[in-house]
Structure 1
Amino acid sequence: MTATSSSALAAPFVDGLARHELRFQRCTACGTAQTLARYACAHCGSDALAWETARGTATLHAVTVVSRAPSDAFRALAPYTLVIAQLDEGPRLMAHADPGVRIGDRVAAGFFAHDGHTLVRFSPATG
């Protein structure tokens, strides 16, 4: 897959972020949801994929604090919290999060601009 085709494949996800929507693919053949844009379902291999918009609520499955950024683009954010969050719709997503979150916390997606991109940041869910 070339960078161009990869960019086109992920465009619904990236465009959704710009509109402050968290999008994912769902296989219409088997119902599996996936956050990494693919040409085929990771579960059954079908190419019958549709884009959906998540509610934006999730449960945290992993949390880490990045003290040393892997690139210049993220150096100004360090230290920052990265999480693996399982969306209520099923798929998992790596994203930023508010400091102090813990595994098992219920969170809600928010969005922030950084380096010309819109990124996801999870915060503790209220209510």
Structure 2
Amino acid sequence: MELTVFRCTQCGTTLFPARYLCPHCGADQWAATPAGPGTVEETTVVRHRVGAQGAGDAHLASVRTAAGPVVVARLDQALQPGDIVTLALDDAMRVLAHPHAGA
């Protein structure tokens, strides 16, 4: 499922996740917008996860979406800052980042 971000219909502020009210203008109307591809800004590796012993490392990244907001996403492989990724949601509604096919 494609990742969606939310644009305030009054002032144009784009956020993720959705909010009840826009923090910039106070409006409560949002338009869902595709996040588009993103650029990896920072990465980290979680090596020890409580309740997930033996599950391997979890690679995470802060990704700036083409629409503007930064999201934290799980990676299927180690990536570097500056890499272009495609963002999606899995069945558990976790944000996933995959290397962009055109990169």
TM-score interval (norm. to shorter): 0.7 to 0.9
TM-score, structure 1 normalization: 0.69
Unaligned runs of 5+ residues in structure 2 are none
User: Which residue matches 2:94?
Assistant: 119
Same amino acid, percent of matched pairs: 32
Unaligned runs of 5+ residues in structure 1 are 1-19
Q: Kindly indicate whether residue 11 of structure 2 is the aligned counterpart of residue 21 of structure 1.
A: no
Aligned residues: 102
Q: Which letter maps to 1:125?
A: H
**CA distance in 2 between partners of 1:52 and 1:59 (Å):** 17
Structure 1 residues 74-118: Cα deviation after superposition (integer angstroms, max 9, x where no partner): 5564311111111101111111013220111111124545xxx14
Equivalences for residues 81-100 of structure 1 within 5 A: 81-100=59-78
1:66/1:45 CA distance change after superposition, 3 Å = same
Higher relative contact order (CA 8 A, sep 6+): 2
**Higher helix proportion:** 1
TM-score, structure 2 normalization: 0.82
Moved over 6 A (4+): none
* Aligned Cα root-mean-square deviation (Å): 2.0
Q: Kindly indicate whether residue 14 of structure 2 is the aligned counterpart of residue 30 of structure 1.
A: no
